[in-house]
Each structure stands twice: as C-alpha cells, then as structure tokens.
Amino acid sequence: MRQSAFAIRLHRADDVAVLRRPVKAGTALLVDGLRITASQDIPPGHKIAIAAVSDRSPIRKDGHIIGFAKGHIAPGNHVHVHNVVLRTRGATRSRGGHAEPVRYYPPAQMRAFQGYARPGGGAGTRNYVAIVSSVNCSASVARLVAERFRTPEFRRDFPNVDGVVAFTHKAGCAAGDDSIALLQRTLAGMVRHPNVHGCLLLGLGCETSHVHCIVRNHALDRLPPGAPKPVLMTIQDCGGVAKTIEAATAAIRRLLPAANAQRRTALPVSKLILAENCGGSDGNSGLTANPALGAAADELVRYRAAVVLAETPEICGAEERLVSRAANGKVARQLLALVRWWYKHARAHNSTIDNNPSPGNKAGGLTTIWEKSLGAIAKGGRSPLRAVYRYAEQVTASGLCFMDTPGFDPVSMTGLIAGGCNIGVFTTGRGSVFGCKPVPTLKVATNTALFRRMHGDMDLNAGTILDGRETVEQVGRRIVEKIIAVAGGERTKSELAGVGDEEFAPWELGPTF
C-alpha cells in the first residue's frame, strides 16, 4: 500500500503518519520508499510511526512536537497514549507579524446573503423574540412563557418569526464580582444579539444580577434608534409565578407584530460574524474538517467578514502558530496572557491543561493537548490575527479574531454567540449533535463513516479529503457556500431536528457563597 492509500504524512520532518483506514498487524506499508510493517492492529485516525524515535526524544507531527517518546518507538508501532508523554515546555517568544497578507476582494466582487438589517448596522441570520432570565430563580417562568408560543397558531400568525426562545442558566446570585460581571456581559449580549428582535429581561427581583443592573451596566437603555428596548419584569413585582406568566405572555405578544414585520434583504457577506468551534474531535480533525474550515475562514476574511476562533485551553501547546500571525505586538501579548492564565487556572484547581484530550478524543486518535491544539488552530486558516476578546465581549473587528472561552462546547459557543456571532460552524469527528438558538450552526464531519452514520445531524462531509475525492480547498469552498445559504435562511440539520433550546450555558467563574 502506498502512503497516499493508507496514511497522511503532513510534513517531511514528521515521525508519524495518520492512518486513513484500519491496519492489521503484519501489514506491509510503503512510506517514502521505506517499507515498514505494522506491529499491531491500528484504528483509522490513529498514528503509526514511520521513523524510529528513541526514548524521551520528541515526536513530530505536522512539523510540530506533539509529545515525547516513552520508551523506544520503532517504525510500524502504534503511537498513542501508551508510549507518548508531555513535558514542561518553554514560553512562546513570537511577537507576531508573520501572517500572509490578506488579498481582499474589491467592493465590486462583494457577495451577498439574504439577512435582516438591524438598527446600528448589525445583520441577523435569524429572527427570534427572546426571554432572557437574569437568574436561575426565573428560569422556570421563562420556559413556561416560551412554551405558550409553540403552537400551530403561532406559526400561522407570525410566519416571519423563527420562534420565542428562553435563555436560562444556573447562576445570577451570591457569586463573586468577576462571575457576576461575566454573566451580565453574556446576558446583555443576548439582549442585543442581531438574531433577536425584541426581548423580555426577566428576573426574580432580589438577585445580585438584577435586571436593572444589567440594563445600567451595559447601556441597554441606549440601543441604536429603531432597536426595541428590552421589557423588564420581575416575579416579585408581578406578584408571583402565575401573574408573571400572564404578564410576560402579554408582553411577548406586544413584541411579536414588530418582529413579524421584519423582512430579509440582500446584505453583504462582510456583515457575517462566524463562530468556530470543534467538539468530539478525532485524529482526522486536523487533517480534514478543521483545515477546510480554515480555508473557508480565509475566504470570508477576504470579504471582510469576521471569523472568531475560541477555546483557549485547546490552543495551548501550539499557540505560537497563532501568535506568530498576530497583527501586532499588542495582540500577541493579549493572546499569550490568556494562555498563561489558563495554565495558572488549571494549577489552582489541582489540574493540568493536558487533562485534555477527552476519552472520546483519545479513542479517535488524539494523544496529547499539543496535538489536539494543532488541529484546533487549523480552523483559523492563515489570515492575520486582528483582535483578542474576553468571553462574551462584543466582536467589532473584521478579519480573524480570538475569544477567550473554555473548551466545553456549550460554554464556548455561548460566549461566541453572546459576542455577536450570527452564524456558526462546528467540526466533529466523533459525532457532536450541537445546536444553539438563536444562531444556526453547521456541523462538519471529519470522516465519511461518521457522515453516513449520522447523516441526519451532519451538514457537510469533509471526509472526502481522506477519500481522495476532494482537496482541502474544495471542501473549504463548499463550506463557504453553505454558510451563505444558511445565513440566508436555509435550515441546518440541528434546526430541523429541533435542537438548540438547552445549549445556552454561560461560563461560571469564581466561588458560589
């Protein structure tokens, strides 16, 4: 079997190749003219040694160290958690400035999607009315109110409204100042989100994160002219659950006619803010779906759209690849400060960054966080890194950006959405079924077997790269076309399945008293 038939070697200096298909023990393989024999059965997506690596020596994949040998590794050996370890690494010293310059499309070549023009210049890809719970104590009431609008009559009377959605959570009171500030920033982001036209901000009445505090701290009473201001309501002021449900239902009914009057119009692709995330990753993620999404990201950047990479713990160990592309020293320092914070945060909780990859990631072939980070960063393409944002901070820059989020998918995507992302792409090798209202999220499978097995959940198949039927660039172009179609109203698989009401999960920081 030639290398192209059974495995992918990403860089000439690599010690390993990633298997396209399962290999049985004793199978003879030809790699760069060297005949090796698999020493054991090795699953697809896993690594096979194509060169001898001595004990404690570095192991390279894609030209990057992903770990160190635990004992001697011979050509043909399975390279995974049983014979790879991590060690303390030095600090990244890059100051940025090494990204390829962006070749922007001229204005005459700007593409368009059918979206909702919002006051202040934002663009909606969906049109929801929202109930935002300021504290867990009002979560049940928020859900009960939203359920009143899940009827055939609602669809008949308000066909241009995608739904009434309740954003609930488990926090909002008796927590540290940093935690409350982060929560309020997240909730305020949902109130002003471009995919939301009209919002009820609902609280209990005595919580730390009071509705009036959220409005005051985030200037929600000074929204752009024409933007509906949030309706404020508390259960205590209304006189209890039953009275609040009736009052809140009436308030939503008053918001619906204006939301229903919204119409899609042609808007430039530069109005898109793309949230990128990966979950249930496998050994193919860094070979297919992630670099294909990176190619799509570069194309969107050429149209002056914003692309937001996230999941800080999942760039650790390979962060220099992103830092080297920082537009300036300030951006590089901001990103490195986030990485240092995460190492410190892990130590403070008696953990380590290399607790990641997850068991599912390892079963799929990922061995260390350094290896996983290589694949995760590939989603960002090759464009310069223009800006770094805190969790749920409003994204205002165009081009490639980074947002500080945890690696846990719902928490990460919640921050990106609260930051204003109006469409998402989620890559997966094991089979994530993620979806999150109010933002449509495309899921891209890293391999054809997954795409076929979970066809009802996967929007695109990047496994064609492994199959030799498409290049990374060709799949990237397909992703761009699908993004534009979905931004214009085409439904994603998660939307068709009814997924998206339970995934709102703000990041909880600090102690709870």
> What does DSSP say about strands 399-403 and 385-389: parallel, antiparallel, or unpaired?
parallel
Q: How far is CA 52 from the centre of its chain?
A: 37
C-alpha–C-alpha distance, residues 273 and 161, integer Å: 21
* Three-state SS letters, 365-395: CCCCHHHHHHHHHHHHCCCCEEEEECCCCCC
Q: Which residues of 335-353 are buried (b: 16+ CB within 10 A; e: fewer)?
A: bbebbeebeeebeeeeeeb
pLDDT confidence of residue 1: 44
Show the tokens assigned to 420: 């204003």
Count CA within 13 A, CB hemisphere, residue 211. Answer: 23
C-alpha–C-alpha distance, residues 188 and 494, integer Å: 25
pLDDT confidence of residue 357: 83
pLDDT confidence of residue 278: 95
Query: Taking Cα atoms as reference points, which of 166, 163, 168 lies closest to residue 128?
Result: 163
Phi-psi group of 321: left, alpha or beta (phi > 0 → left; psi -120 to 50 → alpha; rest → beta)? alpha
C-alpha–C-alpha distance, residues 269 and 272, integer Å: 6
**3 state DSSP class of 201:** strand
C-alpha–C-alpha distance, residues 367 and 65, integer Å: 12
C-alpha–C-alpha distance, residues 496 and 454, integer Å: 14
Q: Which residues of 269-288 are buried (b: 16+ CB within 10 A; e: fewer)?
A: bbbbbbbbbbbbbbbbbbbb
Place of tokens 């393989």: 29
Which residue stretches of 239-328 are H helix?
A: 241-260, 289-302, 319-323
C-alpha–C-alpha distance, residues 306 and 398, integer Å: 4
Place of tokens 């001697």: 72
Query: Taking Cα atoms as reference points, which of 87, 114, 189, 234 lies closest to residue 418?
Result: 189
Query: Taking Cα atoms as reference points, which of 322, 287, 312 lies closest to residue 465?
Result: 287
pLDDT lower than 70: segments of the chain:
1-4, 32, 89-94, 510-513
C-alpha–C-alpha distance, residues 324 and 322, integer Å: 5
C-alpha–C-alpha distance, residues 152 and 163, integer Å: 12
C-alpha–C-alpha distance, residues 104 and 95, integer Å: 24
Q: Which residues of 100-111 are buried (b: 16+ CB within 10 A; e: fewer)?
A: eebeeeeeeeeb
pTM, full prediction: 0.94
Helix axes 472-487, 289-302, angle to 10 degrees: 60
- The type of residue at 388 is V
